[in-house]
Structure 1
Amino acid sequence: FHAAPDVSLDDDLVRRDLTINAMAQEEGGQVFDPFNGRMDLKARLLRHVSPSFAEDPLRVLRVARFAARYHWLGFRVADDTLVLMRQLADSGELDYLVPERVWKETSRALMERDPQVFFQVLHACGALKVLLPELASLDGVPQPEQHHPEVDTLVHQWLSLEQASRLNLPLTARYAVLCHDLGKGKTPEEEWPRHIAHEIRSARLAKTVSKRWRVPKDAATLAALVAEYHTHCHRALELKPATVWKLLKTLDVIRRPERLEDFLLSCEADARGRTGLEDRPYPQVDYLRGAAQAASNIDVAALRQSGIEGPALGEAIENARIHAISEFKKTWQTPSP
C-alpha cells in the first residue's frame, strides 16, 4: 500500500470504498484483512468498508461501476451496501455532485465489459432517477412486441448496452446508445405501445443530458444524431437515394467519415438489443457504408471544370452524389443470412 508517512495502515484501509480493496500484505507475507475482504471476495460481494461510506456520494457511482466491471465474474453489490446507497440517493446528496465527476464515472462505466449493470445498480438503489431521470422513466414503458419482444423500453436499453459492449463500440457510440430512446419516456400513455416522433424527443433529451453532464462535444453531437436518425438507419434499404444522401449529408460523412461508422454501430447495437434478435443480420450497416463511399467517389473536380458556378455547382454536386447512390443501390445485394 502507498500512503503518507503520517497515515497508518488502519487509517488507509478504512478510507477504501470496498472491503475487497481494503486488504494489505505485510512484509512477511501475512494478509492484513481487518474488514473481512477475503470473505467477501470468496462470496463475490461488493461491500462497503464502514458507515463512513456515506460521506462521499460519488461512491454510489463507483460501486455501480465496480459492479459493471466484475459482473462477468459473478460479483454483486451486498444488500447492506445497497441500503446505504439507497439512503444516499434519497438524501439529496447526489444532487450536489459536480457534473464533470458524474460524467467521468459514467464514461468509465460505459467502457466496462457490462455497462448495463452500472445503470441497473443505480436504478436498484434509486440513484438513476436522480442522476438520469430520462432513463429511469423508461421503466415499464411498453413497445410494440413485433419489433421489441422484450416489450419494456428499459429492458431494451439494457440489451442495447450489452450489444454496444459486444460490438466493442467506442465511448462516443456507447453514449449514443444510452441516449437513443430517451424520448419514449415522454410518449403519452394513450399512444402506447407506439411512440410516434420519439426520435425528435429523444434528440432533445440527449442534448439536455449532454448539457447537464458537460459531455464532450463529439459524444454529445453523435448522441443527438443517433437519437434523431436511428430509425432512418433501420429503414435504410427502403429509403430513396435522395433520402439516403440527405441522411449522409446530415452526418457530414464527406468531412467526417469516422462519424458514420460510430453512427452505424450505434444503430446496430439498438437493432440487436432485442430479446431473441441479438444475432439477426443487419445489412443496413454495409449498405450505408457503400452508399457513402459511392457518394464520396464522384469527380467533384470535373464538375468544377465544366464551367458550372455558384449555386448551380452545389446543386450539380448534390445530384451527382444522389445519382451515384442510385447506381450503387441497383447493384446492391443483401447478403445471405
Structure 2
Amino acid sequence: MSKRAYNFNAGPAALPLEVLERAQAEFVDYRGTGMSIMEMSHRGAVYEETHNEAASRLLKLLGNPEGYKVLFLQGGASTQFSMIPMNFLTEGKTAGYVMTGSWAGKAIKEAKLIGEVFEAASSKESKFMNLPDLSNLKLPDNAAYLHVTSNETIEGTQFKSFPDTGSVPLIADMSSDILSRPFDLTQFGMVYAGAQKNLGPSGVTVVIAREELLQDSPKHLPTMLRYDTHAGNNSLYNTPPSFSIYMVNQVLKWIEEQGSLEGIEKKNQEKAALLYNAIDNSGGFYRGCADTGSRSLMNVTFRLASEELEKQFVKESEKEGFVGLKGHRSVGGLRASIYNAVPYDSIKALVDFMAEFQKSNG
C-alpha cells in the first residue's frame, strides 16, 4: 500500500485504518458464508445478527439507558430535518430551534415548511463564531421540541453542555461529533447523525430516540417517513444500507478498543490542543475563526492574512499529502476536520507543515 493521505476531509471523512483492514479481510467471505455482507439477504440470520449487534453496541457505549431505541435510516441528516417536524410538530404546537450556523439554518428552513417554528436562541450577531447561552431558555407551553446542532461543521463551533428542557423533548443533530466524547443520552428525546464523520461510511443515518417518541406517528404521513414504521420493523421495513451498518458496527468495536468514549475524548482533546496551540502561538500568522470558548474539537477553522495566501497554503499542503484543508465554499478560509479516526500523527504532521509554511511566507 502506498503512503496513507493525511485526511482532514469534513465528510465522508477518515475511517480507522484497523477497521478498513478488518473489512478488507472479510469483504469477500463474511463469517464463512462464501458471500460478502453486501450480497446477502437482509432477512437472513447472519446479516440480522450484525444489524442487532451494531444497535446494542451503540446503546452500550452510551450507558444502556432504558427506553431508547436505535434506528438505521437513509437520506442523511438532511432527511431528518424534514422527518422530525413531520412526526412531532403536530397541529397547535410550535418547534424551537437554536440557530448556530449553516446546519442549524438548514434544519430550520425545512421545519418552516411543515409548521410553526421559533428561534429559541441565536448567535447570528456574532456571525456564528460563538454559541448562545442556553442555560436560561424559556420555552412556550405548546413547544413540541427544542432542536440543537451540537457541532457546526462549517463554522467550527461546538456546545460543551446542553440545556435542561424539562418535559419538552430535546433533539440534537450530532452528525459531526457523536461519540467523540461521553454525553448523557437521558437528557435527550432524540439524537441523530449521518454516519460519514464519526460512525462509518456514508449511506446510513443513525437515530437514537425514546421509544415513546417513535410510536404513533401521524397517520397521514407516507410510510417511509414515519418513525413508527422503522421502529416497528427493527429498521428492516425496506432493504437497509447493509454494508454501511456493518461498518458502523466495526467502528463501534474500534471505539471500545480506544477506551470507549472516555478514551476517545482524551485523544480528541490532545489532538485539538496541539492544533489550536499552533494557531494561537503563530504570532497572528494563523487566526482561529471561532471564539475560544465555543471552539470545536472536531472542526478547526482558521484564516490567513489573505485569500491568495490561503490558496497557496492549500496548494502546497496537497503536494505534501494533506487532503481536505480548504474551508467550506460558503465561508472560505481553512478547516481541518479532526474526527475520531484522524490519528495524532496526522495532526503533528499538519502542525509541522504549518510551521514550515509560516517560515517561508511570514
User: What TM-score, normalized to structure 2?
Assistant: 0.24
Q: Which one has more relative contact order, counting CA pairs under 8 Å at least 6 apart? A: 2
User: What TM-score, normalized to structure 1?
Assistant: 0.26
Structure (1/2) with the larger helix percentage = 1
